[in-house]
Amino acid sequence: MVDNPKICVIGLGYVGLPLAVAFGRTLPTVGYDRNRERVHELAQGRDSTLEVTPADLATARHLVYTAELEETRPCDVYIVAVPTPIDEHKRPDLGPLLSASRAVGEVLSPGNVVVFESTVYPGATEEDCLPVLEEVSGLVGNEDFFVGYSPERINPGDKEHRLETITKITSGSTPAAADWVDRLYRRIIRAGTFRASSIRVAEAAKVIENTQRDVNIALINELALIFQRMGIDTQEVLEAAGTKWNFLPFRPGLVGGHCIGVDPYYLTHKAQAIGYHPEVILAGRRINDHMAMNVAAQVVKLMTRKGILVSAARILVLGLTFKENCPDLRNTKVVDMIREFHDYGARVEVHDPWADPVHARHEYGLELIADPPAGSYDAVVVAVGHARFRDMGPERIRALGRDHAVIYDLKYILPASQVDGRL
């Protein structure tokens, strides 16, 4: 464990790239990604995720990019920042993480440190990743090399809470390794670090951050469904309740993305593996996983009340990304709503100025439209609260629909008096 290490960041996505740039400002850093197109665009000073500006990329004077694993061999520390998704059965998919571990094992040298940033269940780093590193490298963990865990806290699209301004949890497989990992991150994190007592504690802390948010949003979603049946405006209720100093300001909506809609399944998987069946967490997941279908059903009901034949209707969905002002399409629940409309026989068109049309086509088979024609739709659904949609205002959004069109606002960007329905 050297004092001035050469860094390698494995995976240059939403998490890995900001990390590589931050280290690359002061330390020799290699950004490795198997995607050659991604490496090429970064080498040209462009980031398609829009997390890092060209100006910020230019500040990382000690950072180089590569798709060749062998070029990372001289590095002293490997930081793994790859996705940890779930499969179609809602089970953790450690495939990308174990693949990255095997890759690191191929170039691992005595004295190296491997730090994982991917969200996992408690125990995964030492029980799943460490054995792979040992098997491939032929080295012995905590003797020849060491591991650490420092969970990512990237919030895509958030220009205020950035890598350097968020407290970083750190941990290591031995006390000395934990101290070294903590010192390493303190070189780039202005907000400071929190050294956890063990890797398992750090893993658990990360996985409950988003589980807590998921459960809270599920409660508000359930309340919204109840109030909708009562004819009460949920937003008005939340504004009234929010006048109490300790009321938490959560809002209803679709819960997608790579974190909140995924991380709880890692925790529940581990809980069930040790013989405990989590009830509150899974109940929250069921509520949030079904919200897209509930929204579609509400829109269809409003259309039916207006005498619109849904099977012959043309519906415009504004927004496809999993959150506002961000191009990230991973695990977006807007897709579930679109599929539900398709099941009713409706024709659905999607407009999202943030989403990459190529990614939308590749990931979901959807063709985005660039300029929705005015007066053409039987229903307009505001699914994502992009600032551009807010700037359009109620008149321009309503003008996209026919005279009898249903206007449904999932994100509360329009006045209640200007829409036919919202959560």
Contact criterion met (CB below 8 Å) for 344 and 300: yes
* Distance, CA of 369 to CA of 19 (rounded, Å): 34
DSSP 211: H
What crossing angle do the helices spanning 130-137 and 95-107 adopt, rounded to 10°? Answer: 40
The closest alpha carbon to 220, from 245, 257, 248, belongs to: 248
Which one is catalytic: 8, 129, 259, 326?
A: 259
What crossing angle do the helices spanning 199-230 and 234-241 adopt, rounded to 10°? Answer: 120
Angle at CA of residue 302, ends 287 and 409, nearest 5°: 60
The closest alpha carbon to 148, from 176, 185, 173, belongs to: 173
Report CA dihedral (355, 358, 361, 363) to the nearest 10 degrees: -80
The DSSP-derived string for 371-389 is SPPTT-EEEEEE-S--HHH
Determine whether 326 is an active site residue: no
Question: Could you give the residue numbers annotated as active site?
Answer: 259
